[in-house]
Structure 1
Amino acid sequence: MDVPKLLEAASLLVPEEIATENDLTVNDVWEHLTHDEWEVALGLLEELGDSHPLPLSFWQALATAAEQMRLERSAAWCHWRCYEARHGVIRADLTLGPADHARRQTPFPGAGVLRPMWNIGPRTSTGEPDLFVAGLWVELAPFMEPGGRATVRLAPLTPSDWQHVRPGQTITMHEDRTVAGTAVVLDVQRPSAPAAP
């Protein structure tokens, strides 16, 4: 399927009454599609998807369109949202340790590349914190600096291990056995339907 058809198909999945904080609607998307402004239409659809939960097929269509337009970050974001549509959303306020007190000395990319371990509460049989892997997407920033603070989205490697995580809970990030950062869970949204195997 070509880019315009993918974007048209995705826009049909957006309820007409949905609007973003900037009062953008699906009608604005159609306006850009009629002028072959595909990248703008893609960006507006991503924004509409951020303002209201939309189905997996919406994000799949956007991911394919972004790949065809060679928009790597948009494609990565849409694939990330596909994961969230299947498994749910966990957002947290993360503060990294400063470079002079932590293992990490350099910034890391914010687009879901880093997959650190997290202490989310459970303990091993020996009483040590049990650590669980989750990918990390930094909202509104291309990188996260040592000592920085940002809202992040987490994609657990095994979502069932994270079922007990709740808003307000403090969790810690680890790139080795030491604490690399501390996060307070802001939001947990479970998927509306069970994830397909």
Structure 2
Amino acid sequence: MDVVGILEAASLLVSEGVATGNDITASDVWDHLAQDEWEVALGLLQELGDEWTAPPGFWDELELAAGALGLERSRQWCSWRSAETRAGVIRAELVLRPAGETFRRTPITGAGVLRPMWDIGNRTDGGARALDIARLWVEFAGDLAPGAHAPVRLLPLTAARWRHLGPGDRITLYESAVAGGTATILEVQPPSAPS
């Protein structure tokens, strides 16, 4: 299927009545497709995907389109969102410790590459602290420097172990034996598709 066909298929999945805060709808997507403005149409579909619980396959279609257009960061984002339909959404405000207080001296890459360990309150059978792994996506930025803070999204390796978290909970990031930062949970949504 070509890019136009992929974007058309994705736009057909958008529920009637879904609109962004700027009143963008699937009709606007079709207008841009008719004018061969594929990147704009893809961007609008991504915005629309944030406004409702997209069905399984929506983000997969957008990932294919972004890949065909050579938009790597957009492809990665759509892949991430597809994974969130199966694992759920966890958003948090992350504050990294300054460079001199931890082993990290360089920024964290923001596109979901880093898979740090997290203290989210789980314990082993013996009562010791158990660390859990989750990939990290920095929202609205390409990276996050030591000492900085930003909203992030987390994609747990084992989503069921994270289900007890809710807004306001604090969790701790570990890349070594020393805590590398703390995060306050902003939002938790259950999966929208079977895992």
TM-score by length of 1: 0.95
Distance 1:178 1:127, change over 3 A: farther
- Alpha-carbon offset, residue 120 of structure 1: 0.4
Structure 2 equivalent of residue 80 of structure 1:
80
Structure 2 equivalent of residue 4 of structure 1:
4
Distance 1:69 1:193, change over 3 A: closer
**Contact 2:120–2:172, Cα closer than 8 Å, also in 1:** yes
2:142 maps to 1:104: no
- Alpha-carbon offset, residue 16 of structure 1: 2.7
- Alpha-carbon offset, residue 70 of structure 1: 1.2
Give matches, 1:12-23, under 5 Å. 12-23=12-23
Cα deviation 1:94-138 (Å, max 9, x = unaligned):
100011212111112111011100000012345432111100011
Instruction: Write the letter of the residue equivalent to 2:60.
Output: Q
Give matches, 1:66-77, under 5 Å. 66-77=66-77
Distance in 2 between residues matched to 1:60 and 1:192, nearest whole Å: 14
- Residue range with higher mean Cα deviation, 70-79 or 158-167: 158-167
Q: Number of paired residues? A: 195
Distance in 1 between residues matched to 2:15 and 2:193, nearest whole Å: 19
Q: Secondary structure of 1:78's match?
A: helix
Instruction: Write the letter of the residue equivalent to 1:66.
Output: A
Distance in 2 between residues matched to 1:192 and 1:85, nearest whole Å: 5
- Give aligned-pair identity as a percent: 57
In structure 2, the gaps of 5 or more residues are: none
Structure 2 equivalent of residue 115 of structure 1:
115
Distance in 1 between residues matched to 2:26 and 2:48, nearest whole Å: 8
Q: Secondary structure of 2:8's match?
A: helix
Distance in 1 between residues matched to 2:193 and 2:57, nearest whole Å: 14
- Alpha-carbon offset, residue 193 of structure 1: 4.1
- Alpha-carbon offset, residue 192 of structure 1: 3.4
Structure 1 equivalent of residue 24 of structure 2:
24
Distance in 1 between residues matched to 2:88 and 2:143, nearest whole Å: 24
- RMSD over aligned CA atoms reads 1.2
Structure 1 equivalent of residue 184 of structure 2:
184
Q: Secondary structure of 1:51's match?
A: coil
Give matches, 1:12-161, under 5 Å. 12-161=12-161
